Structure 1
């Protein structure tokens, strides 16, 4: 386990920054700390989900131990807050949520963890999941999740009725996976934004991936971006492999709030991921063609201050500067070089305590 101690010795780092935030991660799927996991081929989302379902019970390590190993690595890399999407289903019950919450408690001095109850295997199409989702909100989950209302569930309004209904009954915010592209994807995004406004949830709903927003040829893109901005809906992007990435400058110009996440880290979907949001900022910057210092600094902001705002972590969102008792220290000249070179932090300090990994 990680030991903590008051920060007493002095260093002279080249760069001091706010803490990092992973705004979209699936820790319960991770094989971090376990033996190498060979992945099965998958040609589409449905096959990835089915491979994941088949692998859920194959791990020799418990959810808590794998997640703790991953979280410890994330903190060592400067992540001080994260939003964890955790699978719930009749097959799994609330086990994964309980395991992730237990791992989070072991690092609570350094890591703020929000858990999203995520219906990876379907909600309407997997009977009983809605009840488990509701139960998970009493077992350690914080937010209500969702999964492609059209592409996975085949019922845009039915799926959104269900998850907004649970959110209403439990008084929770929502974070919805949306891989659907094209005009159908934009329609789903507009419907989520419309419901966000209608229920008074401005700033309290997030859409993960939102691949439809990445296609600038779609006729209704501008209209959709304006509605997303009006609703204060957050967009979480991860810069994954061959998946589309948004035009960050366009979203910023339209007033759309964006955060960064790592999605899967060495999980059943992909062998990639390092539990470093500096690495993730690098990948997003590379994928979006960042060239100038301002571009690179903007991507770092998505992985730090913006994520702190989304998760409500004031010491990151409203960082007090290099003298803050919550900070990261790096051997880098500036933020642009940090994003390009991707060093690990020299020191990770939260509330005056330095993280020391045993």
Structure 2
């Protein structure tokens, strides 16, 4: 931390959005009214309809959101982008084109089978094609609750990742003991395939239920497998106990999930806002607890995405953010926009 004549200047590492869906966003478009939905399947069907109705391209909508994120200090993100038999690889190509217009922002793309992998014939082939069209990782979604075939789904996801030499990032909304069983199976396959540190589970709502008898054993296996957990602190979604995850050695990163899309009217494109929400949802009060929320949104994300200039950041780093704030704790509470965003010592602006 350094000082200016007018206000304290706080230097920080860059922010990382470890779980976002830029191809779904309506950012900068007229207000989008959302249909009610009570189940995951209904949300997915609403999303399918909304995406089909967009008159503005994926590239332009994604570029608008990515530009906003960069201007607010996000220097790296993992984008989950829809791939299906109907969409083919178009959304992946649109997000990749948007990312290439912003060279100061690292964007990892996950080929994401939102509309089903086994249940939507042709999607597995489209996923393979997406890995040749701009996607970096293989995604998956609720092998049990949505696909109804835990082992078949994971065989397809891990098999594709093995053939292509890619990492894995799986959405898992299923809760209860069934959700924990799916998490353990993913961890076992990670260990068996020598993929420690190369598999992520997004949401992992089952980890947020402290009353589940197998939670402790599940966390131990997740830690042994080096499986990352990403949480988004959205709405009423369950959030794991951060203290408990730390005790078990489970690594956590933070994402914004949907931003102004068919799923939610919320989201600002600022990961500092998301760190604030994580702190609020986990009842952070002390400076140490508030600082942890910021660390999860920065350093942890840098570790997950392999960005050493974020993961190993020091106050002398040329890649940094600068805020008018007294401390990280105040920063998380007040959520100001950065005064400067620097990459390699050069001030950058979204273009």
Q: Return the TM-score normalized by structure 1.
A: 0.95
CA separation in 2, counterparts of 1:284 and 1:180?
21
Alignment of 1:106 with 2:101, yes or no, is yes
Secondary structure of the residue aligned to 1:56 is helix
> Is the Cα–Cα contact under 8 Å of residues 13 and 329 in structure 1 kept in the other structure?
no
Q: Which residue of 2 aligns with 1:326?
A: 319
Q: Which runs of 5+ in 2 are unaligned?
A: none
Q: Which residue of 1 aligns with 2:256?
A: 262
CA separation in 2, counterparts of 1:76 and 1:64?
18
User: Pick from 219, 225, 235: which aligns with 2:219?
Assistant: 225
> Is the Cα–Cα contact under 8 Å of residues 322 and 340 in structure 2 kept in the other structure?
yes
CA separation in 2, counterparts of 1:26 and 1:243?
17
Secondary structure of the residue aligned to 1:315 is helix
Residues 232-271 of structure 1: pairs in structure 2 closer than 5 A: 232-271=226-265
Deviations 1:285-342 (A, max 9, x none): 1001111100011110110000000000110011132x32100000110000000011
> Is the Cα–Cα contact under 8 Å of residues 70 and 350 in structure 2 kept in the other structure?
no
Runs of 4+ residues over 6 Å off in structure 1? none
Secondary structure of the residue aligned to 1:65 is helix
CA separation in 2, counterparts of 1:245 and 1:185?
14
Alignment of 1:349 with 2:342, yes or no, is yes
Q: Which residue of 2 aligns with 1:3?
A: none
Q: Which residue of 1 aligns with 2:91?
A: 96
Alignment of 1:146 with 2:127, yes or no, is no
Q: Return the TM-score normalized by structure 2.
A: 0.97
CA displacement at 1:14 relative to structure 2: 2.0
> Is the Cα–Cα contact under 8 Å of residues 144 and 175 in structure 1 kept in the other structure?
yes
Alignment of 1:134 with 2:107, yes or no, is no
Deviations 1:29-78 (A, max 9, x none): 00012121111111111100010011112111110000000000000110
CA separation in 1, counterparts of 2:330 and 2:120?
47
CA displacement at 1:12 relative to structure 2: 7.1
Secondary structure of the residue aligned to 2:34 is coil
Deviations 1:213-265 (A, max 9, x none): 00010000000000000000000000010111110011011100000000000
Number of paired residues?
Answer: 347
CA separation in 1, counterparts of 2:53 and 2:341?
34
User: Pick from 22, 35, 52: which aligns with 2:30?
Assistant: 35
CA-atom RMSD, angstroms?
1.2
Q: Which residue of 2 aligns with 1:190?
A: 184
Given the superposition, is the C-alpha separation of residues 357 and 199 from structure 1 closer, same or farther in structure 2, using an over 3 Å criterion?
closer
Q: Which runs of 5+ in 1 are unaligned?
A: 1-9
> Is the Cα–Cα contact under 8 Å of residues 67 and 103 in structure 1 kept in the other structure?
yes
Secondary structure of the residue aligned to 1:115 is strand
CA separation in 1, counterparts of 2:7 and 2:36?
47
